[in-house]
Amino acid sequence: MATVLKPRDYKSDAHINWCPGCGDFGIVNAIQMALAELQLPPHKVAVFSGIGCSGKTSHYIHAYGYHTLHGRVLPVATGAKLSNKDLTVLAVGGDGDGYGIGSGYFVNAGRRNVDITYVVFNNSVYGLTKGQGSPTLRKGLKTKSMPEAAIQDGVNPLALAVSSGYTFVARAFALDPRTLASLIAAGVRHRGSSFIDVLQTCPTYNDLYTAEWYNHTQSGGPRLYRLSETGYDGKVKDPSDADEVVAKKVQAITKSYEWGEKIPVGVYYEVDLPTYEDALAERNPRYGREALVDTDFSDRDLSPLMDALR
């Protein structure tokens, strides 16, 4: 390729209407940086988003953009990816979108291992409807916009992702776009369903998980630390070794409960397994050779089907 693509080549001209200081800016910048790192032609990329503040992300990226329905982003992205396996498909949405109204799709997308990357903007509040508690807000917590503290507990998205079957599970921080960008790029490179939970601030409604909270514990140091710096290795070396797979899953789930004074970021779990598309290609070799959208079905012969009914 003659020209080198820069992050700005993935910026659309749509007006951004997020609140000043919103964590979403860091995530959209990181996506653009990741796409530049991967040097993907914008027209080969499709970004699917759910509903909520995060849902607007697809409008802000110069690529095919689909701002879909609340909670349904994964099925839509799945349908598109299976129809054109040559596309790079990103799905984005909030934690309410993905772990609340979309929780069934979150779990079942993991079972399939379609080659897509799902980035969740996790800020523990429903921002666009003015600050109700979301599925990751823990029991007993109360943000400033909530009349009462939460009396239902929060979900653990990383543990849920690992047990659902995602083959790349990571956590990152919206206010560290450089690290986030490299994780998104790694997720896109990974063949299979990649999931990245992004801890994100909502300066308007979440007065608990603020930038200050993430950056300074009571003892003074940052709350977030990188798994890679502790010798943690989430990658399965031999995917055919069932014991290793289970051990790495348990390790990731255990790690995902580390929340409080210290919160780990980075890749929790990774395994190379055949994708859903691989299984389709095994069933029908033509699927492996060409994208479904490019397949000409005008030569279909239905006479054997009719003969079977005679």
Partner 1 sequence: MHTGGERSLGHDDLTWLIGGPQGGGINAAAEGFAKAATRAGYRVIANIEYHSNIMGEHSYYRVRVGRSGHRNVSERVHVLVALDDETLVGERHAAFPGFKGHVQEVVPGGAVVFDANDGPGEHGADVLLCPVPYLELLEEALKGSSREGQASRLKVMTNTVAVGASLALLDFDLARYQDALRAEFGGRRADLGELNAKAAALGYEFVRERFADGFAFRLPRVSPPKGKPPMLIRGAYAAAMGKLKAGIGFQSYYPISPATDENVYLEAHQRDQGLVVVQTEDEVSAINMAVGAAHAGVRASTSTSGPGLSLMVEGLGFAAMTEAAGPVLVLWSRGGPSTGLPTRHEQADLRFALQPGHGEFPHLLVAPGDVHEIVRDSYEAFNWADRYQMPVMVLVDKALGTTFITTEDLGLDRLPPVDRGPRFREGGNGDADYLRYDFSDGIVTPRSVPGQAGGIYWSTTDEHDPRGHITEDAENRIRMQDKRMGKLELALREIPSDRFLTLHGPKSADVTIVSWGSTKGAILDALDILAREDKVKANFLQIRIMRPFPVSAVTAILRAAKKTVLVECNYDGQLGLLIREQTGIAMDQSIVKYDGRPFSEEELMDGLRHVIAEGPGRLMVSHRLG
Q: How far is the CB of 301 from partner 1 (least distance, A)?
A: 9
* Whole-number Å distance between alpha carbons of 34 and 43: 15
Buried-state track 259-268, b at ≥16 Cβ within 10 A, e below 16: eeeebbbbbb
Residues 30-89 that bind partner 1 (CB under 8 A): 41-44, 46, 48, 51, 56, 58-59, 62-69, 72, 75-84, 86-87
Quick check: 128 binds partner 1 (CB under 8 A)? Answer: no
Any contact of residue 291 with partner 1 (CB under 8 A)? yes
Question: Residue 221 interacts with partner 1 (CB under 8 A)?
Answer: no
- Which of residues 3, 218, 240, 298 is near partner 1 by CB under 8 A? 298
Whether the CB-CB separation of 50 and 76 falls below 8 Å is answered with no
Cβ atoms within 10 Å of 66's Cβ, excluding its own: 15
Establish if 284 lies at the interface with partner 1 (CB under 8 A).
Answer: yes
Q: State in angstroms the smallest separation of the CB of 171 from partner 1.
A: 25
- The window from 186-194, 216-224, 257-265, 290-298 that contacts partner 1 (CB under 8 A) reads 290-298
CB of 40 to partner 1, least distance (A): 12
Is 307 an interacting residue with respect to partner 1 (CB under 8 A)? yes
172 φ, ψ to 5°?
-145, 180
Q: How far is the CB of 274 from partner 1 (least distance, A)?
A: 16
Task: Check: CB of residue 262 under 8 Å from CB of residue 221.
Answer: no
Residue 28 or 87: which CB sits closer to partner 1?
A: 87
Minimum distance from residue 115 beta carbon to partner 1 (Å)? 14
Torsion (CA) 180, 78, 253, 208 in degrees, nearest 10: 50
Say which residue the tokens 């509040």 belong to: 125
Complex with partner 1: residue 64 or 232, whichever CB lies closer: 64
Min. distance of Cβ 288 from partner 1 in angstroms? 12
Applying CB under 8 A, what is the total number of residues that bind partner 1?
57
Cα separations in angstroms, 64 against 41, 48, 80, 160, 261: 11, 8, 11, 29, 40
For partner 1, the closer CB: 86 or 261: 86
In angstroms, the CA 201 to CA 206 distance is: 7
Q: Does 108 bind partner 1 (CB under 8 A)?
A: yes
Residues in 6-35 at the binding interface with partner 1, rule: CB under 8 A = 12, 14-15
Binding status of residue 193 toward partner 1 by CB under 8 A: no
- In the block, tokens 């027209």 appear at 43
Provide the residue type at 78 as one letter: T
Backbone phi and psi for residue 263, each to the nearest 5 degrees, phi listed first: -130, 120
Give, in degrees to the nearest 5, the angle at Cα 170 between 47 and 167.
Answer: 80
Output the smallest distance, CB 142 to partner 1, in A.
Answer: 31
Q: Kindly give, in sequence order, each residue whose CB lies less than 8 Å from that of residue 154, ignoring residues fewer than 6 positions away.
A: 124, 135, 136, 137, 138, 139
281 forms part of the interface with partner 1 (CB under 8 A): no
* Binding positions for partner 1, rule: CB under 8 A: 12, 14-15, 41-44, 46, 48, 51, 56, 58-59, 62-69, 72, 75-84, 86-87, 104-105, 107-108, 280, 283-284, 286-287, 291-293, 295, 297-298, 300, 302, 304-307, 309-310
